[in-house]
Amino acid sequence: MSYSLFDLTGLRALVTGSSQGIGFALARGLAEHGASIVLNGRDRAKLETAAGQLKETGVTVSVSDFDVTDAEAVKRGVDAIEAEVGAIDILVNNAGMQFRSPLEDFPIDRWEQLLKTNVSSVFYVGQAVAKHMIGRGRGKIINIASVQSELARPGIAPYTATKGAVKNLTRGMCTDWAKHGLQINALAPGYFKTPLNQALVDSQEFSSWLEKRTPAGRWGDVEELVGAAVFLSSKASSFVNGHTLYVDGGITTSL
């Protein structure tokens, strides 16, 4: 049996927010299917540590520590990768943050920070990378959405708003860029064991609720996102565009 449809050999993937958590798991998974990797984040030391872990397994990896919430820094960083490392064939817009507070008391500065980190970064990096991809007539962009693109929970209304925006921005990117040979889709994780969710993982009350609420009856492991990411990065998804793929144990399908 041939698995060539899912082979990423010879392709380069830039994964934002990839020094840990979902971003690192996706970078490692894409590498295992043949891609070379560019890790991105703001903390150079953490990126170098993550890169070292990948290099131990024989992966071709480099790091780029630009701030995805700074449009000029993004442009400089992406242009530098293209000029010094090579063409970006796959972009995974993973950088994101969470902040929990009752909506009536939600701090304005945190609202603005969430918008910059979760929405503006997707636009900035997506635009900067797409300008190079359009010239080549091909490219894959995967925006990391969430089950909160569809659902809401108390205390995270602004986060929910940002992830709803990511879903619709993905549709908009498809509408503008599919004609240039690009495929732009979103990957929407459910509840996964990550540093971002550690407080919830550690809460017996929340974990018990989640296990009852999710048809699969458990938290997800980040490695379970890899197959969907490889699919959206590969030839296998050549006519999939503007789609949001939920990997959530069924939580968005059941009351």
**pLDDT value for 194:** 86
Domains of the chain: 4-250 (3.40.50.720)
CB 116 within 8 A of CB 38: no
Which whole number is the average pLDDT over 34-63?
97
Whole-prediction pTM: 0.96
**C-alpha to C-alpha distances, 28 to 58, 112, 175, nearest whole angstrom:** 11, 31, 30
| Full strand arrangement of the beta sheet holding 139-144 | 61-64, 36-40, 12-15, 90-93, 139-144, 182-189, 244-247
| pLDDT tops 60 at residue 141 | yes
Q: Tell me if residue 204 falls in helix, strand or coil.
A: helix
| pLDDT tops 60 at residue 1 | no
Q: Which residues pair with 140 in a beta bridge?
A: 90, 183
- Averaged pLDDT of the chain: 96
More confident residue, 169 or 2: 169
**pLDDT value for 174:** 98
Beta-sheet pairing, 61-64 with 36-40 = parallel
**pLDDT value for 2:** 54
**pLDDT value for 196:** 76
The residues annotated as belonging to the active site are 159
Give the side-chain half-sphere CA count within 13 A for 163: 26
Hey, what are 190's tokens? Answer: 């459910």
